[in-house]
Structure 1
């Protein structure tokens, strides 16, 4: 626990360093890189925008499902940034694993290196489509996904990006990453069902903190909860310490005033400090229900924190996630990157659509089919606004162990969706 608190203090003071383990490289396959493409980059791709150009209507390329369907996978290999090579390898590994499990559906997976650059991403997106790609899978970073989307829109091709940033979703760009909104909706629905509907919202004054706070506020409105107090804090150790009395006063002045504290902080930020300081100030989990917008089981040391005991958080179906991790490790000799499974989900969704045998399988209507798809962590579907909805489990921590208290749904036919 002391190591985790120390890491949190460093994060809040800007003294962080990320370390990564080596990863096994993917099996050989077609790969393309920048080379001289940047010199021929279309001028339109140099223009930054919040959203890519909309193609309008039910748009997408026609495909021949009787032949291997060309799919372009865009990964951040070659950026020179710490960890991008490992992430790129994991995404490619997961995509190839998914392609090997499609049971008769043939995907011609072609990998393109973006170097983590929006300009290079735009160039290789254009090359991929010229090479015959019928859908773009990736890239990772929001600015790159926006660049890919703009180029692909002009060619009538959809993009399934690994980003979780809803600001770049829409038009022909769909994001596969888990969103704050989806998690906030799942947790507030559950909380209201358990009689916990009066929320004190605690969030950092950072872009991520403000986005997460907006998601919780929106979820509360939609699901019958109310935010009775909002406590923003400066993203620093001093900011957290100064926020604790305000949280205590908001949640503790009257037993009828609030029955839940929604913490948006993650384990690399303010969560360890809040989970220590709030109980020390008389506001332990025995007095009020703690709810977390982020994963409280990563890293495992988080389970030792006093304030998370009995708290609620959401996560993908643990059983299905474990099965994917096991298959991936058996195939490549190492665990997948935390977001590597998004590439598996993308290929699985494409494969499921191609299996339907329709020439418009990769159109906007196909990608947004209401029944969704089965991914590494459970059911998910792409929404018409370019974001996604994922079936999540609600878990708590008991005796420093994760316990699922409301299982993840296995389809979108049931309640809660």
Structure 2
């Protein structure tokens, strides 16, 4: 165990909270009735011990009136961390929040050891690869960013090893490369948390219902994740994102529905409400006992009678309370999830340097199986270039989310 600056503790390993034996209360079909903290990274993070959504406005905040960031340096420590942030109008709020969260983390945890080199540019400028090369030449130990998949792809094609590890400000997807990891989770991570609960409840045969055109690599990642959780993917049933002829689309999957006892609903667009209505009515998949939605579905869906009983896993927002008061005092606003991401990215670097010295920010240490617990919850960077984030599993009940499984104390 490691003491954090707040006086709380970071847990090592450990099992997640057991699934409630109570059935899900639901106003819909029977399959909706059967489904089944120590917060931010320690500044003294030790590798031999353990390593350690809606927060404010978040990603949906308006960017109007937010000035573009300029390149600058914050802090004067000997260990340089480079942060690549966008100046695009649509990303300015995100960039400002990440930058402010990073500065707060350096104030809290840097202990005179770190400095942040902020490099700002438009995501369409084509400068990402050259900025990574410059950061590497300048001796940066870690690169945080960029914030778009296109820039990550340019870095992969335009740079080579050796270079510093990169924590990209993008969700889990196929854009990752060698020694590059995303910092954000995605809908697949959310779905797999729910799958874990379903499998523990012996609901192992899973059909995936998804928008047509959902990225094939993400569907493959979901299938692989289901297998790792102990489940069996019976099949995939696509539906038109437009919502036209949904019943006809589902009718094509009758044989798949008939073999499943769990359904995963991938989608959050305009059609998802009608998708849930149709499937909850019981016309398809009489054997399905458990339904899992994802973090993609909008909150207004929670009020629909057909959505009652759905499982939804979302990132922990509890832990950000540890930084909320100081963030608001410094910047005059509540921290968004992006601000917490910025905080965590520097907290990781600070913790490794404080525990292991200026050369401790390595691929081996970043990919420790213990993972990290920080302002955005519990996560770890996998050797395959993905981030694995634990989420809190909820059940939709009476129009709101009710916790049925906590994030847990470790992996």
State the TM-score bracket (shorter-chain normalisation): 0.7 to 0.9
Q: Following superposition of structure 1 onto structure 2, how do residues 249-260 of structure 1 map, counting pairs within 5 Å?
A: 250-251=256-257, 253=258, 257-260=259-262
CA distance in 1, matches of 2:331, 2:296: 26
Gaps of 5+ in 1: 1-17, 33-65, 413-417
CA distance in 1, matches of 2:130, 2:178: 20
Helix, strand or coil: the match of 2:260? coil
CA distance in 1, matches of 2:254, 2:325: 43
Q: Quick check: 1:152–1:158 contact (8 Å CA) kept in 2?
A: no
Q: Quick check: 1:68–1:108 contact (8 Å CA) kept in 2?
A: yes
Q: CA deviation at 1:325?
A: 5.3
Alpha-carbon displacement from aligned partner over 1:73-94 (angstroms, at most 9, x marks no partner): 11111x3x4x211121111112
What residue in structure 1 maps to residue 140 of structure 2?
Answer: 133
What residue in structure 2 maps to residue 356 of structure 1?
Answer: 355
- What is the TM-score when the length of structure 1 is the normalising length? 0.74
CA distance in 1, matches of 2:385, 2:335: 26
CA distance in 2, matches of 1:238, 1:309: 24
Q: Following superposition of structure 1 onto structure 2, how do residues 70-81 of structure 1 map, counting pairs within 5 Å?
A: 70-77=80-87, 79=88, 81=89
1 or 2 for the larger relative contact order (CA 8 Å, sep ≥6)? 2
Equivalenced residues, count: 351
Helix, strand or coil: the match of 1:111? strand
What residue in structure 1 maps to residue 315 of structure 2?
Answer: 316
Alpha-carbon displacement from aligned partner over 1:289-348 (angstroms, at most 9, x marks no partner): 21023354xx43232123321111212224214555565445433344544432222111
Cα RMSD between the aligned structures? 3.2
CA distance in 2, matches of 1:337, 1:240: 36
Q: Quick check: 1:199–1:229 contact (8 Å CA) kept in 2?
A: yes
Distance 1:364 1:286, change over 3 A: same
CA distance in 1, matches of 2:222, 2:139: 42
Alpha-carbon displacement from aligned partner over 1:250-274 (angstroms, at most 9, x marks no partner): 53x5xxx3222110112x3432221
Helix, strand or coil: the match of 2:184? coil
Q: CA deviation at 1:284?
A: 10
What residue in structure 1 maps to residue 211 of structure 2?
Answer: 204
- What is the TM-score when the length of structure 2 is the normalising length? 0.75
Q: CA deviation at 1:216?
A: 2.6
Q: CA deviation at 1:349?
A: 1.0
Q: Quick check: 1:292–1:311 contact (8 Å CA) kept in 2?
A: yes
What residue in structure 2 maps to residue 176 of structure 1?
Answer: 183
CA distance in 1, matches of 2:203, 2:210: 19
Alpha-carbon displacement from aligned partner over 1:150-187 (angstroms, at most 9, x marks no partner): 55535532211112244232322122121455434332
Q: CA deviation at 1:242?
A: 3.2
Helix, strand or coil: the match of 1:319? coil
CA distance in 2, matches of 1:313, 1:285: 21
Alpha-carbon displacement from aligned partner over 1:136-160 (angstroms, at most 9, x marks no partner): 1101111212333555535532211
What residue in structure 2 maps to residue 292 of structure 1?
Answer: 293
CA distance in 1, matches of 2:65, 2:139: 30
Q: Following superposition of structure 1 onto structure 2, how do residues 71-150 of structure 1 map, counting pairs within 5 Å?
A: 71-77=81-87, 79=88, 81=89, 83-102=90-109, 104=111, 106-117=113-124, 119-149=126-156
Matched, 1:69 2:75: no
